[in-house]
Amino acid sequence: MTEKDFPPGFRWGTATAAYQIEGAVAEDGRGPTIWDDFVRRPGAVRRGDTGDIACDHYHRWHDDFDLLDELGVNAYRFSIAWSRILPDGAGRINGAGLDFYERLTDDLLQRGISPMVTLYHWDLPSALQARGGWAARETADRFGEYVRVVADRLGDRVPQWLTLNEPYCSAFVGHLDGLHAPGIRDEATAVTAVHHLLLAHARGVEALRAANVVGEVGITLNLTSVRPASADSDDVAAAQRVDLFENRLFLDPLFRGRYPDDARSFYAGVTDFAFVRDGDLRAISAPLDFMGVNYYERHAVEANPADPVRGWHRVPPESPTITGIAVEPQGLREVLERVTREYTPLPVYVTETGLALFDYADPSGAINDAEREEYFRAHIDAARQAMHAGVPLAGFYPWSLMDNFEWAWGYGCRYGMYYVDYATQQRIPKRSALWYRDFLAAREVPRLTPVRAAE
């Protein structure tokens, strides 16, 4: 790869999320969230780990931003914890929460690092879960009100907003698999949550537009590359079903203003979609400025003879990583090209991609994550190929800046470029961080100047 491979202004970043790094869960007026509750459920998270302290980023954020400088990135994606702003999810505003995220934003801008702010990365305020959570339509309206409060404070300076991170996971991993908060296992609730999350996105976009924010507005979906295990018509049909709920159930409403034709038949025995009201899909498909893609998985699907109508099996990969999925950079190229070809000409950002490992410090203290270095190299190259095939790719944000609370895994696996020694909170650059630093230095990535509203 040469420096000519990526256009000037390309955003090279990295990403984190509030609950995974901040800690300080009871400080400065923060209210509880569904994750604070879920981690206390016996067996929900490995070893009973919690995000109570996590990387203590709430107190160490300035030193952590020095790591961004050290890497040489010109962009950084972080999320705002709704319950730091509105401890009860609605109503009373907590100024200390707004002050915290204002400090983060201003410090990044001063460093020439462009903030991309995610407004919802899975940490719903508990008070809203008590009123039905994502199964309740009102939660979308509460999200719009929260976004308006944030936009009033930061709308004059944040260059890029993401309404939601990975609504697939919020809806299905949280409400069907029960592996994430709120830990529900009910398919009708999960599909209802899909719609209310998309409606929340719509309310968030409306709030940002109404506040005349200077920044661009987008959403991040985790997309998978799904293919049939064979040309057999049953395998092809099974792959289409998986593609429905992993990809099209989100892409179609956002970019075509309708649910896919096969959604109603697939969910016929589960829900009649009565939760969709007039005007919802028009609002959900309101124009955006960019699209975020998180990519982790390409997989083959075969039919399940025991359930030919709804069933499917994931073909186990030949070389699974510790989370059971294979390293398949080709899949990143496929999902990026699909978004551009089938859905939208908007600029696309890879807002996450990364590899879980059991990293450890060797006797010299070095963390030799050669597999992660290779993962990033190969995925950047796949993204470059997609760009040369016509995808308007505008940025790349490897997951993650540092090891952090990996949801149901707790601290049991690591995704960071910086190793976190949780006993001391020391951050140590892994081999992948040193590689990314050198990769960016070779490209002389310029810092980005902030956009500001006219005084």
352 is catalytic: yes
Amino acid at 392: P
State yes or no: residue 352 binds ligand IFM (CB under 6 A): yes
Both tokens of 325, joined, read 């999925």
Check 334, 337, 352, 373 and give the catalytic one. 352
Nearer to ligand IFM, 44 or 448 (CB): 44
Q: Helix/strand/coil (H, E, C) string of 65-118?
A: HHHHHHHCCCEEEEECCHHHHCCCCCCCCCHHHHHHHHHHHHHHHHHCCEEEEE
Site string for ligand IFM, 97-136 (x = CB under 6 A): ----------------------------------------
DSSP 19-35: HHH---TTSTTPPPBHH
Closer CB to ligand IFM, residue 54 or residue 281? Answer: 54
Which residue number, 245 or 259, has a Cβ lying nearer to ligand IFM? 245
Closest distance between ligand IFM and the C-beta of residue 22, in Å?
A: 13
Nearer to ligand IFM, 240 or 321 (CB): 321
Nearer to ligand IFM, 263 or 402 (CB): 402
Q: Is 17 in the site for ligand IFM (CB under 6 A)?
A: yes
The answer to whether 246 contacts ligand IFM (rule: CB under 6 A) is no
Question: 71 or 357: whose CB is closer to ligand IFM?
Answer: 357
Using Cβ positions, the residue closest to ligand IFM within the complex turns out to be 17
> Measured between alpha carbons, how far apart are the two ends of the chain, in Å?
42
What is the three-class DSSP state of 427? Answer: strand
Supply 172's token pair. 């299905």
Does the footprint of ligand IFM cover residue 166 (CB under 6 A)?
yes
Least separation in angstroms between residue 289's CB and ligand IFM is 22
- 399 scored as a contact of ligand IFM (CB under 6 A): yes
Is 166 labeled as catalytic in the residue annotation? yes
Non-local CB neighbours of 73 within 8 Å, separated by 6+ positions: 12, 13, 14, 113, 440, 445
Please, what sign has the CA dihedral across residues 46, 50, 51, 56?
negative
**For residue 140, what is the enclosing H or E element?**
helix 138-154
Whether residue 386 contacts residue 333, with contact meaning beta carbons closer than 8 Å, is answered with yes
CA dist 169 and 166 (Å) reads: 6
Q: String of b and e for 34-59 (b: at least 16 CB within 10 Å)?
A: bbbbbbeeeebbeeebbbebbbbbbe
Site string for ligand IFM, 279-318 (x = CB under 6 A): ---------------x------------------------
The distance of closest approach from Cβ of residue 278 to ligand IFM in the complex, given in angstroms and rounded to an integer, is 33
By beta-carbon proximity to ligand IFM, the closer residue of 83 and 94 is 83
Measured CA to CA, the distance from residue 101 to residue 78 in angstroms comes to: 10
Query: Per rule CB under 6 A, is residue 401 in the interface with ligand IFM?
Result: no
* Site track 30-69 with ligand IFM (rule: CB under 6 A), x = hit: ----------------------------------------
Does position 415 interact with ligand IFM (CB under 6 A)? The reply is: yes
- Write down the least CB distance from residue 221 to ligand IFM, Å: 11
Minimum distance between the CB of residue 19 and ligand IFM, rounded to whole angstroms? 9
Counting DSSP H helices and E strands in the chain, the numbers are 17, 11
Q: How many residues bind ligand IFM (CB under 6 A)?
A: 8
Report how far residue 401's alpha carbon sits from residue 76's, in angstroms, rounded to the nearest whole number: 9
Gap between the Cα atoms of 142 and 389, Å rounded = 41
The minimum distance between CB 39 and ligand IFM, in angstroms, equals 14
Does 16 engage in binding with ligand IFM (CB under 6 A)?
no
The residues carrying an active-site annotation are: 166, 352
Give the residues lining the site for ligand IFM (CB under 6 A).
Answer: 17, 20, 166, 294, 352, 399, 406, 415
